[in-house]
Amino acid sequence: MLKTQAKLKPVVSVKWLSQHLHDPNLIILDASLMDNKAGLKSEHEGFQIVNARFFDLKNTFCDPDHRISNMIPSAERFTTECRKLGINKNSKIVVYDNFGTYSSPRVWWLFKVMGHENIAVLNGGLPAWINEFCEVEIKESAEVELGDFQASFNSKRVLNAEQILENINTEHRLVIDVRTEDRFFGRVPEPRENLRGGHVPNSINLPFNRVLANGMFLSDKELSVLFKSLPLNNKSLVFCCGSGVSACIGLLACELVLENEKYLYDGSWAEWGQLENYPIE
C-alpha cells in the first residue's frame, strides 16, 4: 500500500523548511512584491531562498481583463501558469514573501480555492529566513519541467459585491476589514484613486498587523484571545481589505485557530469604494 503524503500545516517555521528543503515534491514559491499599498519596506530585494520559483501575483496570477487589480484568475489561467512553474498535482508547496508576512497568504488562499490543499506559508518569510542565517541566492528564473497541476475552483469561497450588499441586511456573515483603522473610518484618503472613504456597513475592523508580530503570526494562544475579543457569534467570516491581498493575512490567522467558515470578498475596497450606489459608513 502506498504511504499517504502528509499534508502541510497552514504555516511552517524557518526551522521546518531548513530541515525539509530536499523533500521529494517540495516546491518553494517566492511571492515577493516590489511595492505595496500598506507602506511596508523590504531590505532583501534581489534575493530568494535557494531554488525558489517566482510566483507573480501582480501580473500573472490575476485576472488581466478585470478593471480591478489582483482579482482571482480563471481556473484555466491558474492551471496553465502553475504548470509553467513545474507545479504538479502531488506537489507540496511552501510560499514566502519579502515583507515577512504580506502577499504569501494570498498565494496560500489562491491554491486552497483552486483545490490544492498541500500548501503552507513560511512564517516570517524571507526576513525570518535570512535572520536565521539560512542560505539565499540571487534571484533568477531557472528552467523547470512542465508540471501537471490541475485547478478545481471552489467559487463558493469567493464573494462578490452583490453578496456583500445582501449581507448588510441579513447579517448572516460577519465582514472583517483588515485595513488600518484610519482607512476603515475614512479619516485618510485611500491609496488608490477615485475611491470613497469608509467601510461596508455592519463590518468590523481588525487591522492585519494585529495578528502579526515582527512579520510573524502570533501564537495560536494569542490569536485565540484576539478573535475571542471580536463579536463573531459563531457566524461565518468574510475578510476584505484594499484589494484582496492583505485580507488573506487575517483569513489565514483565523484558519489557524477557528473553525468558522471563511470567505474572501475578492474585490474588497478597490471595488466597493467606487460603487456609487452601494452604502458606506
The dihedral over CA atoms of 220, 240, 111, 32, expressed in degrees to the nearest 10, equals -90
Active site residue 241: yes
Residue (of 155, 178, 279) closest to 226 by Cα position: 178
* 258-262 contacts at long range (C-beta below 8 A, 24 or more positions apart): 258/227, 258/232, 260/232, 260/234, 260/235, 260/236, 261/236, 261/237, 262/157, 262/236, 262/237, 262/238
Residue (of 4, 280, 268) closest to 158 by Cα position: 268
Reading the block at residue 36, the C-alpha cell is 505595496
Catalytic residue among 82, 240, 241, 254: 241
Query: Using CA atoms, how far apart are residues 174 and 227, in angstroms rounded to an integer?
Result: 12
Query: Using CA atoms, how far apart are residues 159 and 157, in angstroms rounded to an integer?
Result: 7
b/e code 204-232 from CB counts within 10 Å (16+ = b): ebbbbebbbeebbbbeeeebeebbeeeeb
Residue 269: Cβ within 10 Å count = 27
Active site residues: 241
